[in-house]
């Protein structure tokens, strides 16, 4: 069971009690607008996602971490996910994604959570963390920038979204860049 603590947050593996807030979050149109693959049609679909995330806890080797983000009192705020990219030796290359409940947006929570998982993954052998989002998703880009990610590219007309091709912004954070920062986030 992974538990990562930050000044305001706890990032932890899922428990079955997460089903209700997770389902409410993943059926909220504002949350899934930029995450169409995460849009849940019914509670059975959310339950399958939750069970799959909980199975990862005992996987050996473990290649995926879908972590609940809560406040220090256990209130569910959202989620942050890490996955090792297939085929990279020694678990060196990891991808990251996240979503938060809208009522808690713009309080620096996603930034605090992303900084904490970056530290976690770099302390556990990874050397590179990748993330991408639609270029128009300014909140997500801002989270990555606040965590010290560098934009490596802009993939033009890359992603089919809501009836049109859109640009995708691609970011990276290397272990050396993270460790080298004077002020780690948060
Ligand atoms: C992306 C997301 C996780 C950010 O969560 P959060 O907890 O609000 O993030 P933070 O508070 O740490 O940072 C958000 C930053 O974006 C900025 N921001 C938010 N909306 C913005 C907008 N429309 N335009 C420009 N900046 C915006 C905020 O001002 C803040 O920056 P600041 O601290 O410099 O003021 C949240 O918006 C979300 O869940 N969105 C839906 C799911 C999603 O898009 N996930 C990412 C898919 S790649």
pLDDT in tens, 77-120: 999 999 998 777 776 899 999 999 999 999 999 999 999 999 99
Question: Does the beta carbon of 100 sit less than 6 angstroms from any atom of ligand 1?
Answer: yes
Question: Does the beta carbon of 171 sit less than 6 angstroms from any atom of ligand 1?
Answer: no
Half-sphere exposure of 158 toward its Cβ, with a 13 Å CA cutoff? 13
Question: Does the beta carbon of 156 sit less than 6 angstroms from any atom of ligand 1?
Answer: no
10-45 tens-digit pLDDT: 999 999 999 999 999 999 999 999 999 999 999 999
Q: Is the pLDDT of residue 184 over 60?
A: no
Which band of pLDDT confidence, cut at 50, 70 and 90, is reported for residue 68? Answer: very high
157 versus 59: the higher-pLDDT residue is 157
152-165 tens-digit pLDDT: 999 999 999 999 99
Question: Does the beta carbon of 25 sit less than 6 angstroms from any atom of ligand 1?
Answer: no
The predicted pLDDT at position 69 comes to 98
Angle of CA points 78, 182, 130, to nearest 5°: 45
Q: CB of 94 within 8 A of CB of 82?
A: yes
Q: Is the pLDDT of residue 181 over 90?
A: no
Q: Which CATH number is 24's domain given?
A: 3.40.630.30
182 within a domain of the structure (yes/no): no
The predicted pLDDT at position 86 comes to 75
- The whole-chain average pLDDT of the chain stands at 94
pTM (predicted TM-score): 0.95
In this prediction, what percent of the chain has a pLDDT beyond 70?
Answer: 95
The predicted pLDDT at position 95 comes to 96
Structure tokens of 79? 């989620």
Coil, strand or helix: which one is 122?
helix
124 within a domain of the structure (yes/no): yes
76 within a domain of the structure (yes/no): yes
Q: CB of 87 within 8 A of CB of 24?
A: no
31 within a domain of the structure (yes/no): yes
d(CA 182, CA 95): 24
Average pLDDT over residues 121-134: 94
Atom 21 in ligand 1: which residue has the minimum CA distance? 139
The predicted pLDDT at position 180 comes to 65
126 within a domain of the structure (yes/no): yes
- 124 C-alpha to ligand 1 centroid (Å): 27
57 within a domain of the structure (yes/no): yes
d(CA 91, CA 128): 9
156 within a domain of the structure (yes/no): no
DSSP assignment of 46-75: HHHHHHHHHHGGG-SS--EEEEEEEETT--
Q: Please tell me the total count of domains within the chain.
A: 1
164 within a domain of the structure (yes/no): no
The residue segments making up the domain with residue 54 are: 3-130
Question: Does the beta carbon of 143 sit less than 6 angstroms from any atom of ligand 1?
Answer: yes
């Amino acid at each position: 069971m992974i538990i990562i603590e930050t000044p305001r947050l706890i990032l932890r593996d899922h428990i079955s009690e997460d089903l209700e807030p997770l389902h409410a979050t993943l059926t909220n149109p504002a949350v899934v607008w930029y995450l169409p693959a995460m849009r849940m049609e019914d509670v059975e679909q959310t339950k399958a996602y939750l069970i799959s995330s909980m199975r990862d806890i005992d996987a050996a080797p473990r290649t995926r971490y879908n972590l609940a983000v809560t406040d220090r009192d256990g209130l569910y705020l959202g989620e942050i996910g890490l996955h090792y990219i297939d085929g990279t030796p020694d678990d060196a290359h990891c991808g990251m994604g996240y979503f938060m409940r809208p009522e808690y947006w713009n309080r620096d929570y996603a930034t605090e959570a992303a900084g904490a998982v970056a530290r976690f993954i770099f302390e556990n052998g990874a050397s590179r963390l990748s993330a991408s989002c639609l270029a128009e998703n300014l909140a997500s880009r801002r989270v990555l920038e606040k965590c010290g990610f560098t934009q490596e590219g802009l993939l033009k007309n890359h992603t089919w979204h809501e009836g049109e091709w859109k640009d995708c912004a691609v970011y990276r954070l290397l272990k050396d860049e993270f460790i080298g920062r004077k002020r780690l986030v948060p």
